[in-house]
Amino acid sequence: MNAIASTHITRPVTLVEAINLALAHEMQADETVVVLGEDVALNGGVFRATVDLRKQFGLKRVMDTPLAETLIAGMAVGMSVQGLKPVAEIQFMGFIYATMEQVISHAARMRNRTRGRLHCPLVLRAPFGGGIHAPEHHSESTEALFAHIPGIRVVIPSSPARAYGLLLASIRNPDPVIFLEPKRIYRAANQTVENAGQALPLDTCFTLQEGQHITLVSWGAMIQETLEAAQQLAEEGIECEVIDVATISPLDRETIICSVAKTGHCVIVHEAARECGVGAEIAATLAEHALTDLRAPVKRVTGYDTIMPYFKQESLYLPTTEKIIKAVKETLDYD
């Protein structure tokens, strides 16, 4: 895989290649953008998301760090308030918890703390989610932890094009962004991406498919199973509206509420544990603002409230297309 820094090149790429394209494009366009993290320079990152960036932009802008996540986040905060736009990589979400002191106590508060005199334009990237037979601490889906923190955005792409456009928008955003990359679909499919520097909007859901019978809400890798379920249900005459949340926080409530006002039914799909997950926030939002439109209780298809199991059992933990179809039929049968 070679990074493409030239503009207006269109070709099929995987999600991880799209990440690399976005980084290369923005580093070429903006000399204040820097990349840091463990193995991101000489080795090009554990998943090769930063491959060749060091060759193009040099060690002053693509920096290897020690295996010290607190240091990586702290450096990113310091760089950002001094005029740089750091994009820091945490190798797996299971190691991101050491950064939370820097993220919660400093990055998220910088604008408020300084009454707008300083802001904190940093991006903290991390692969997340299960499905690749990884060991402990490599398969977490704890996006709800960060979604609960005011002052930061949590962005999750679901396709190569979405990854390219949302990462550009995240780097250009003046405030901190947690950018979580669903590694299960890093190389699952190719999609044509125009490397022209076009960002996608943050804080907006994307309606991937329109339908009239039920709204399916999901994000990240689970979009694949959700779309597959919608396709199989369509063969039975059930039209699903599929919404990709994309920005977990702040949540685009209006798009979800408007969809449910049309369909009257909703199933939320995520692989994170159920209790206090983002799905619970969406369900509460619908209870507050769309109760009279609902014709059945909101149903969730989620992971379990337990530690993500080792690879031999992770398929039992992750939501499946069959579970989504079952939830849809139970919801529609409630009428």
| Contacts of range 278-282, beta carbons closer than 8 Å, 24 or more positions apart | 278/143, 278/144, 278/147, 278/219, 278/245, 278/248, 278/249, 278/251, 279/217, 281/144, 281/147, 281/251, 282/217, 282/245, 282/251, 282/256
**Nearest alpha carbon to residue 124 among 105, 151, 152, 145:** 152
- Contact between residue 37 and residue 74 where contact means Cβ atoms under 8 Å apart: no
**Nearest alpha carbon to residue 29 among 198, 206, 242:** 198
Indicate if 112 and 160 belong to the same structural domain: yes
Indicate if 188 and 280 belong to the same structural domain: no
Q: Which of 195, 229, 257 is the last residue of a domain?
A: 195
> The domain spanning residue 167 has which CATH number?
3.40.50.970
Indicate if 274 and 148 belong to the same structural domain: no
pLDDT (tens digit, 9 = 90+) per residue, 288-327?
999 999 999 999 999 999 998 888 888 899 999 999 999 9
**Nearest alpha carbon to residue 89 among 135, 132, 133, 43:** 43
Number of domain units in the chain: 2
Non-local (6+) Cβ contacts of 79 within 8 A are 34, 86, 122
Exposure b/e, 174-195, CB count within 10 A at least 16 = b: ebbbbbbbbbbbbeeeebebeb
pLDDT (tens digit, 9 = 90+) per residue, 198-248?
999 999 999 999 999 999 999 999 999 999 999 999 999 999 999 999 999
What does each C-alpha distance from 272 to 7, 197, 244, 267, 293 come to in angstroms?
37, 32, 16, 15, 27
Whether the predicted model's global pTM rises above the 0.85 cut: yes
pLDDT at 6: 47
Average pLDDT over every residue of 330-334: 97
Q: What is the DSSP string of 51-75?
A: TTHHHHH-TTTEEE--S-HHHHHHH
179: in domain: yes
**Confidence band (pLDDT; 50, 70, 90) for 139?**
confident
Indicate if 285 and 227 belong to the same structural domain: yes
Indicate if 270 and 305 belong to the same structural domain: yes
Instruction: Point out the residues that are catalytic.
Output: 138
pLDDT (tens digit, 9 = 90+) per residue, 22-54?
999 999 999 999 999 999 999 999 999 999 999
- Contact between residue 50 and residue 17 where contact means Cβ atoms under 8 Å apart: no
What range does the domain containing 320 cover?
Answer: 206-333
Q: Which of 195, 229, 245 is the last residue of a domain?
A: 195
Indicate if 179 and 100 belong to the same structural domain: yes
- Contact between residue 132 and residue 168 where contact means Cβ atoms under 8 Å apart: no
2: in domain: no
Indicate if 83 and 210 belong to the same structural domain: no
Q: How far apart are CA 192 and CA 201, in angstroms?
A: 19
> The domain spanning residue 324 has which CATH number?
3.40.50.920
Average pLDDT over every residue of 152-172: 98
Indicate if 242 and 312 belong to the same structural domain: yes
% residues pLDDT > 70 (the chain): 97
Indicate if 114 and 188 belong to the same structural domain: yes
